[in-house]
Structure 1
């Protein structure tokens, strides 16, 4: 009987493979980060430049003299109240985020946990709303809001968007996988559905709530078409509508467009960085193990 000697691995072969793999990973990450940061560089560079430097033939990595006066020019412009538009967008985005989190999470929890013979029919009806194009409901929604006298008001900007069928679907699917043992322990302590939802489910679902809040806030802040139609008065403009006013058929104010854009994304960056902590630490804070 013959035996074959075991094949010996080259010393350090595994280590070299690991180093090469990590190098490739770091390289790919670096390239992706570079491509991601280039638009932000162009935004900041053009926001602190003059119109001549933005449209000039000779490119400079950064302007010779930073035009910090572009900030005051933006907020001193009497044709567009940019500070007011920022405030309007903040009110709309925060109100929509809070409203959708409350309404859709309650609806999703009810569909997932409260026994009711027509719950599946209601759920299918909610899913059916996702198949209706926005263009079909846009005009009827505007007619309804206009008949209620909500044009140029926060009510007209916020209330029609306080329910999302897709968000309700996401909450229902999430609550279906939520551990029932925690809710049963809450009921032993005398809590009903509302008490279990508020004192057990919500504190143990902060990571999911944070993810939905981030998406909802960004969507509300970036909304354009509905605020454009409802906010007909300049005092009711949101930041996206205000940004569009700097570009007309007659004039294009480049430095104001870039400066306004740079300032308008600051709340989004702040919200993402703030909620990122909850997204990362949410699992550890839930108390739900494996």
Structure 2
């Protein structure tokens, strides 16, 4: 009997060793795969930085070097001193547009989502389906009417024309509505007992306890507003109203392309997005998960 027990213990030990070996091999394989994917993801950023800090000859040379022999930091000052490219102004315009669009969308979409989720009235579902229906309308269909309206108001080449038509997002309202459907009703009931009306309940109770979804939606809206190209291209007809993306497009349409300026301008335009994404990346997944859009 003792011999049988020992054999069984040895067999279990060998099985555990095999299982531990398989687990370690699986982890190593996952890590190797993630490292390979990360390197592939970083290749475009490497090319931007490498070419942005190189000379024209090093960029176009058939002899490739991992990094320039001497980093050309003067390319940055040359970019901002170039009179044909209003880089500083375009960065300021993009920042103003992105921040204003983000704040406006958060306020309007969150109020719409809260009303659809928490305020009972007869046609709430009909309004919700109408909002969802706008997501199915291609942007090209509403582009010309929006331009005609903005032009008739005299908002061409103004920040108002670039910001106001983009303030409401049906997708953001949908995300907020899904999130508020699962918001603890006990908190709102306690606020009512304390004498708060729905407006103060929203701002004092609901918003402070919904920061993850606000951060997630705000990050997505900010990135979309910063990367917007077609609407700013049509509305921002003067140089003073150009955004970063419109300014970058002028490099590719010029008769003579300064490659080093183009690459360093791309690096400068990407940096704000990287900062925003790195700061709020953990909120994006958490906010979308709590919103219930995957249910």
Q: Same fold by TM (over 0.5)?
A: yes
- Counterpart of 1:31? 36
Provide the residue aligned with 1:223 in structure 2: 228
Q: Pick which of 248-257 and 222-231 moved more.
A: 248-257
Q: Which residue of 1 aligns with 2:66?
A: 61
Q: CA separation in 2, counterparts of 1:272 and 1:169?
A: 22
| Equivalent residue, structure 1, for 2:48 | 43
Residue 86 (structure 1) aligns with: 91
Find the residue that maps to 2:165 and give its secondary structure: helix
CA distance in 1, matches of 2:177, 2:283: 21
Residue 243 of structure 1 is aligned with which of 242, 248, 256? Answer: 248
More helix by share: 2
Corresponding residue number in structure 1 for 2:17: 12
Q: Distance in 2 between matches of 1:166 and 1:124?
A: 12
Q: Which runs of 5+ in 1 are unaligned?
A: 284-290
Select the residue among 207, 213, 234 that pairs with 1:208. Answer: 213
Structure 2: tracts of 5 or more residues without a match: 289-295
2:276 aligned partner: 271
Conserved? CA contact 2:217–2:284, under 8 Å: no
Q: Does 1:185 align with 2:186?
A: no
Q: Which stretch of the first structure deviates more once superposed, 99-108 or 188-197?
A: 188-197
Provide TM-score, normalisation by structure 1: 0.92
2:167 aligned partner: 162
Q: Which residue of 1 aligns with 2:123?
A: 118
1:70 is matched with 75
Q: How many residues align?
A: 281
Q: In 1, are the aligned partners of 2:91 and 2:244 still within 8 Å (CA)?
A: yes
TM-score, normalisation: structure 2:
0.90
Tell me, yes or no, if the aligned pair for 1:247 and 1:253 is still in contact at 8 Å.
no
Look up the SS of the partner of 1:61 in the other structure. Answer: coil
In structure 2, what is the equivalent of residue 143 of structure 1? 148
Q: Is the 8 A contact 1:44 1:258 kept in 2?
A: yes
Q: Is the 8 A contact 2:213 2:286 kept in 1?
A: no
Aligned-partner SS, 2:69: coil
Equivalent of 1:52 in 53, 57, 76 = 57
**Displacement of 1:63 after TM fit?**
0.6
How far does the alpha carbon of each residue in 1:70-117 deviate from its partner, in whole angstroms, 9 at most, with x for none? 011100000111000000000000000000000000000000000111
The answer to whether the 8 Å contact 1:210/1:279 transfers is yes
Find the residue that maps to 2:252 and give its secondary structure: coil
